[in-house]
Structure formats: C-alpha cells, structure tokens
Amino acid sequence: MDVITSHSNPKIKQVRALRQRKGRLDVGLFIVEGIRPVGELVEAATSGAANAFSVQSIYYAPELLRSDFALALVADQAARGVACQAVSAEVFSTIAEKDNPQGILALGSASQPTLADLSPATFPWGVALVSPQDPGNVGAILRSIDAVGASGLLLLDSSVDPYHPSAVRASMGALFWHPVVAATFEDFAAWARQHGYQVYGTSAHGSTEINQVLQYRHPLILLLGSERQGLTSAQAEICQGMLRLSMHGRVTSLNLAVAAGVLLYDMQAKPRAMGV
Amino acid sequence: MDVITSHSNPKIKQVRALRQRKGRLDVGLFIVEGIRPVGELVEAATSGAANAFSVQSIYYAPELLRSDFALALVADQAARGVACQAVSAEVFSTIAEKDNPQGILALGSASQPTLADLSPATFPWGVALVSPQDPGNVGAILRSIDAVGASGLLLLDSSVDPYHPSAVRASMGALFWHPVVAATFEDFAAWARQHGYQVYGTSAHGSTEINQVLQYRHPLILLLGSERQGLTSAQAEICQGMLRLSMHGRVTSLNLAVAAGVLLYDMQAKPRAMGV
C-alpha cells in the first residue's frame, strides 16, 4: 500500500488549499470530513441526489480509521474507481480540521442547479437567505430544512460558500440532499413572481405574529435577512406577508438559524393553502 | 489623558489572559466587547440584575470609538469610579477578538447564584443543558430564553464556561439578565424533585411529538442533552415527559440551539397547567 508520509506532498498541499474559498473555486472541489458526512456524500453521489454530487477522491489514515463501515466504504469506492489514498496519521492531522480526527475525508464536486432549474413542482417550499454572514448558520439552516421536509435553500447576494467546511459540517449531510442555489436578489424576486410563490419575510416589526397565522399559502419561500441587518424595506416590499416572532425580553431578535428553525417548524405544523 | 501604547503593558497582558478560561477563573473576570454588549453589562450592573454583575474596568480606543452613546457611557462610568483606560487603536486590536473592533471592551465580574437560590417562585421555567460542547450554542440558547420570557439556564456537568467570549457574544446581552447556574446532574435532579418541577426531556425517540402536546405543566424545566450524545437513558428517567420534534428527512436531530428554540417557542405559545 502506497502511504503518503510527507506534509509537502503535492496532493496534501492541494487538500489544504481547499480550506480556503479561493482554493475551492479554482478547482471546483470541496472537503467533507468524518465518517458520517463522507458516507452521506458517497450515498448522495451514488443515488443521484439534488445537486449531482461526485466523489473525486478519498484520503484516509489506516492508523486512525477503525470503523468497519468506513473501511468497507473505502474498499467499495476504490473498487468503483475512486482514488483512495492512504496517509500517515501525522499527515492526516495536517489536512483534518478537527482535533482527534476520525481519519477519513473526501474531496467532492457538485454541479449546482440554478433558479431556472427550480419551480413549484420540484421546489414547493424553501428558505432564501439574503447575505448571510456565518457559514455555521447556513449549515444549521440546511439541517432544519431537511428535518421539516422542505425543498432547499437559496443564497441571495451571498458571499458565504455553502461548501465552507463549517457549513458542510453544520449541515450534517443535509447539504447533499437538497438543492442550494446562489442568485442575486433581483433574479430571485423575478423568479418568485413568475412562479407565483408566496414570499414570507421576517422582521421584528412584521405585521403578523406567527401564533396568529392559521395557514400558510404554498408554494412558499421563507425569506430571512442577514444576521446584522435583517431585510431592508425594499426587500420586504416583495413579500406577500411579513412575520414576526414574539419577543418577551430585552433581545430584539433570535440567532438566524434559531429563527429559521422556529418558523420552519411552524410552517411544517400548520395547514397549507394552495394558490393565491 | 493617559493612553496605553505598549502591547506589553501589564494591564493589556491581563486582558489578553482573560481570553483563556484559566485566566478568567484565576481572577474572576470576563471580557465583554462592543458597544451594545458593554452597554447591557453596565445597565445590568446598575440595575442589580439576576447575577449581580459589576463593571471592573473599561478599555477604549479614542481613535476608534465614535459613538456618542459609548463616549457618554465611558464618561459616566469614570465619574462613578470605574477605571476607564484609553489605549491606542493598535493596542486595542491586540485585545479585541473581532476584526474591525468598535473600540470598547469592559471587564466584568458576576456573583452567580446556585441551585439553592432558585425556586419556582423566582425561576418558573427554564432550560437545563447536560454537558454542552459549544459556547456559541450556550449563548444562542440564552438569547432564546430571553426572547420567550423564560427564567434562566442551568448548565449540568458542564465544561463550557458561560463567560467564554463566544457565549457572551452569542447571548446578545441576555447573559446579564437571567440566572446561569452550574450544577451536577445529581444535584439538579434532587432540586427539581424537591420543588416539584416538571422536567421535559428531549429525544429522537421521545414518546410525545410536540404537535400532540396540548399544554405544558409548570413549573417547568426543558432538559437537553449534549450536541453529540443527547440524554442518556438514566438522565431520561428523571423526566416527567419525553418530547420529540418531527423529522421528515435524513437528519435525525437539529442543531442544539435550534432544537431549544423550537421547543421554547412551543412552550411559550401553548397553555400552561400548574401543579402536578
């Protein structure tokens, strides 16, 4: 078995470069680390999930990787022609993000859909985030989208990369099963209007407290502003409804991922009305 | 005005030491950074909020701090005898955690209550976290506790410090207005039994999906396990009810702060029954 033991091996340098956004954009690859996330990527690649993923290569440290499931997965992927490279535990620690790594990571690629690929038939309800700042929030919101059975996520005017390692990790694999589409706010507004989506915005000053909502109209987009600024008044103008969460203390808002989760569970629990 | 311009000034070294837990424990101080959080600390210290806070000192950079509110706050605190120390912008950048700092931070201290200080009269409903791992989650949950009007937070068998800079920041000041009590799980269980609290645990296999809950019994504790492991079966045994959130996709759980937020908003919205 060919085991890489040098930190300066060109393949190892390539993996480290993918920790930076520029590195990911240059080659169209991202890193997935840990047994469960790699397993989800492999399954998504095999089953042809939303974003058409493929596994480009796998790096593993035989000294660290003890899981029978993971070792069988590596053997199976190698048999399918995926480059599976053994590295020393020491070299693995230089490409792993976490302390005490499990000893496996994969490089994946995705062909992401665009707004033109989405319509109420395939994307009946989802979330749109305007200029989110925190990749951990983006990943946690994808996890909640998966949990409530919503369709996917739109990132509007966003500089956050959904393949940032923190977003991949926080999504717990949900990233591989739901379309994630980057678009401008302007294109989003035109697309939503064209397809008759009901856009529900959120604001501390929203006219409707969610406990007053009896039903949500579908197809539906939940539109959330950035962590710092929320929605601008121009962005709020395209919404058919403005929702607010009751605030009983001193804070005037929730963490973005928490707010999205509370709203998604309310939308999941209440009756749905179709059409306008 | 006496302005510190040296990185190696002993006071500046002390502030940097407070970034580490050991530094905070050694001297009983924690850092609060930014205009709004410092303002909340000062107001809590002045009004005698839950955890009996005091402001030990303030560091500010006149070159950076432009807010009239913040400048007046510094002048007022100085007049009240709080040590307010000007530092150069360059020195401030070595004690600030964030890029582009606003130019103000405070060192605070708190006398935290213990379980013996809490009872249903003063703490009618709250959250207990067993061994949380992420200080950002702890802060975000405090923010949600404040938003729904719940009482406070119990940290059980916890190695997370609620005064970790990430927790302070994520709480958006809520930390200063609600009791945060550290205790062992065993002491918590005895305290909850003694006072007749209804303890609602959470689990993917909980017997009651929250949409089936018609009312919650108070006084109430929402008990959540750690990000990785959830509640053990021994911990679940002390609960009067085990709740679950519906999961419609592939993930089997939510981010801890998101789960707490969804459950707290459900508890906030539904009728309350008193007593057993």
Neighbours of B264 (CB within 10 A): 24
A173 at interface of B, judged by CB pairs closer than 8 A:
yes
Cβ(B87)–Cβ(B163) below 8 Å = no
CB within 8 Å of chain A, chain B residues 196-215: 211
| Residue pLDDT, tens place only, B185-219 | 999 999 999 999 999 999 999 999 999 999 999 99
Which of A178, A117, A109, A111 shows the shortest CA–CA distance to A143? Answer: A178
Cβ-defined contact of B248 to A170 (cutoff 8 Å): no
Cβ-defined contact of B148 to A250 (cutoff 8 Å): no
Q: How do A153-156 and A125-130 pair as beta strands? A: parallel
Cβ-defined contact of B257 to A259 (cutoff 8 Å): no
Q: Tell me which chain A residues have a C-beta less than 8 angstroms from the C-beta of B257.
A: 140, 255, 257-258
Q: Tell me which chain A residues have a C-beta less than 8 angstroms from the C-beta of B40.
A: 250
Residues 6 or more apart whose Cβ sits within 8 Å of residue A148: A264, A265, A267, A268, B246, B248, B249
Cβ(A18)–Cβ(A30) below 8 Å = yes
Cβ-defined contact of A259 to B259 (cutoff 8 Å): no
CB pairs under 8 A between A and B: 113
Instruction: Give dist(CA B204, CA A2) in Å, integer.
Output: 42
H-assigned helices in chain A: 10-17, 21-27, 35-47, 68-79, 89-95, 135-148, 165-170, 185-195, 233-236, 256-269
| Residue pLDDT, tens place only, B114-173 | 999 999 999 999 999 999 999 999 999 999 999 999 999 999 999 899 999 889 989 998
Which residue of chain A comes nearest to B253, CA vs CA? A147
A147 at interface of B, judged by CB pairs closer than 8 A:
yes
B255 at interface of A, judged by CB pairs closer than 8 A:
yes
Q: Tell me which chain B residues have a C-beta less than 8 angstroms from the C-beta of A268.
A: 246, 248
Burial A232-265 (b: 16+ CB within 10 A, else e): eeebbebbebbbbbebebbbebbbbbbbbbbbbb
Instruction: Give dist(CA B25, CA A241) in Å, integer.
Output: 49
A228 at interface of B, judged by CB pairs closer than 8 A:
no
Instruction: Give dist(CA B109, CA B26) in Å, integer.
Output: 12
Residues 6 or more apart whose Cβ sits within 8 Å of residue A66: A103
Residues 6 or more apart whose Cβ sits within 8 Å of residue A213: A243, A266, A270
Q: Tell me which chain B residues have a C-beta less than 8 angstroms from the C-beta of A251.
A: 143, 146-147, 172-174
Which residue of chain A comes nearest to B257, CA vs CA? A258
ipTM of this model?
Answer: 0.91
Chain B closest CA to A147's CA: distance in Å?
5
Per-residue tens of pLDDT for chain A, all 276 residues: 799 999 999 999 999 999 888 888 778 899 999 998 899 999 988 886 556 889 999 999 999 999 999 999 999 999 999 999 999 999 999 999 877 899 999 999 988 789 999 999 999 999 999 999 999 999 999 999 999 999 999 999 998 999 998 899 899 989 999 999 999 999 999 999 999 999 999 999 999 999 999 999 999 999 999 988 899 999 999 999 999 999 999 999 999 999 999 999 999 999 999 865
Cβ(B111)–Cβ(B179) below 8 Å = no
DSSP letters, A178-235, are: S-EEEE-HHHHHHHHHHHTPEEEEE-TT-SEEGGG---EEESEEEEE-BTTTB--HHH
Neighbours of A69 (CB within 10 A): 10
B247 at interface of A, judged by CB pairs closer than 8 A:
yes
Burial group, residue A20, by CB count within 10 angstroms (0-12, 13-18, 19+):
exposed
Q: Which amino acid is at B225?
A: G
B162 at interface of A, judged by CB pairs closer than 8 A:
no
Cβ-defined contact of A249 to B40 (cutoff 8 Å): no
What sign has the CA pseudo-torsion B129, B133, B137, B143?
Answer: positive
Partner-chain residue, chosen from B148, B249, B254, that has the shortest CB–CB distance to A149: B249
CB within 8 Å of chain B, chain A residues 68-87: none
A261 at interface of B, judged by CB pairs closer than 8 A:
yes
Tokens of residue A243, six digits: 């929702």
Which of B26, B167, B6 shows the shortest CA–CA distance to B92? Answer: B6
pTM assigned to the model: 0.92
Cβ(A242)–Cβ(A212) below 8 Å = no
Domains, chain B, ordered by start: 3-110 (3.30.1330.30), 115-274 (3.40.1280.10)
